[in-house]
Amino acid sequence: MKFCIISAVVHKESEGLFYGYEPYVREMNLWLKYIDELVVVAPSIQGPANSVELPYQHKNITFLNIPSFDITSLVNTIKAVFLMPIIFYKIFRAMKSSDHIHLRCPANISLLGCLVQILFPKKPKTIKYAGNWDPNSKQPLSYRIQKKIISNTFLTKNAKVLVYGEWENQSKNIVPFFTASFSENEICINENKNLNDQIKFLFVGALTKGKQPLLSLKSVHRLYEEGCNVRLDIYGEGTEMQCVKDYVEKHSLNEIVVIHGNQSKTILKKAYRDAHFLIFISKSEGWPKVVAESMFYSCLPISSNVSCIPYMLGYGERGSIITNTNVNEIVKEIKFYIDTPKVYEDKILKANVWSNKFTLEFFEREIKKILIDK
């Protein structure tokens, strides 16, 4: 099988290997076990791979480099108009020569992929929509157009559209799906985490305005001001890094807040195991892996009411869903658990049991059903 991936992930080539963002490549390597030849259509840049990038594990790879583009300004829009025919042609050529089309949505590049795939109604396709599939959510026009095209069974034929969560009134090509981070041999027995000692919090993810790391930080700060014995470990990097550092310095929180930057999976596993709560109040998500990962290691998520997070948290049975995203509500929720430790214990047990089902082995079996078993 010649398998074609259309992706906006920026890649790097080093010593004959093609690297990409680690969670994405780790997932794709499971798909690649069942194919003979891989064609990747994506942007690439020069430079060595970093700690959050992995190589594809396949011996027969053809990489077609395409430029990234956006329409955030008039100048960029004009550039995009000239780039689109080149990108369109490369995507068309790759799809035409392949046996199976795999499209990663949503992104500007995937919008072109959505249009080109219409020209190949007989070719089998899998379309991974990694964003928020909630029909009622507010999303950019480009994302809404992609959702319309790929959920339309007249325009998108012979396709399985993999979406996060379960939603009502969907077309027949929509398949509820998930993603995974850990293996069956990484499952650990639910640990009793005592809230009477120092209470440890985590923020894991990109330090961007959309992920709201400052909200997590301010919530822990409030608890500290009110006399709670707390600690916050922040993992990730991004545009809000300096704001986070400035806040810590301004309020003299160096003793209770540690900023780690990007770290390996091994370090994150230990962090999840040691922590009591994940505070992750993101404005938009697909399947937030950090929420599933924290549940896997009995770290209770306090998260936002977006995308499939309510589904993941059992609508409150396996964690807390914050509807009014402010410090007061977050602090109130945490204090509730401190005052009712039995509720906390029950929820982390349920979270642990639920998330332990979504292992890499289970994920691979589901991929095999889609690609091979049909």
Query: What is the model's pLDDT at position 43?
Result: 95
Q: What is the pLDDT of residue 373?
A: 64
Per the document, the length of the chain is 374
Tell me what pLDDT residue 190 has. Answer: 65
Please tell me the predicted confidence (pLDDT) of residue 374.
57
**What local confidence, expressed as pLDDT, does residue 112 receive?**
95
User: Which segments of the chain have a pLDDT < 70?
Assistant: 190-191, 373-374
If we measure between CA atoms, which residue out of 158, 18, 150 comes closest to residue 100? 158
Distance between CA 300 and CA 310 in Å, rounded?
Answer: 14
| Residues 296, 181 contacting (CB under 8 angstroms) | yes
- Number of Cβ atoms within 10 Å of the Cβ of 161: 24
Domains of the chain: 2-180+360-373 (3.40.50), 184-355 (3.40.50.2000)
What's the pLDDT score for residue 189? 73
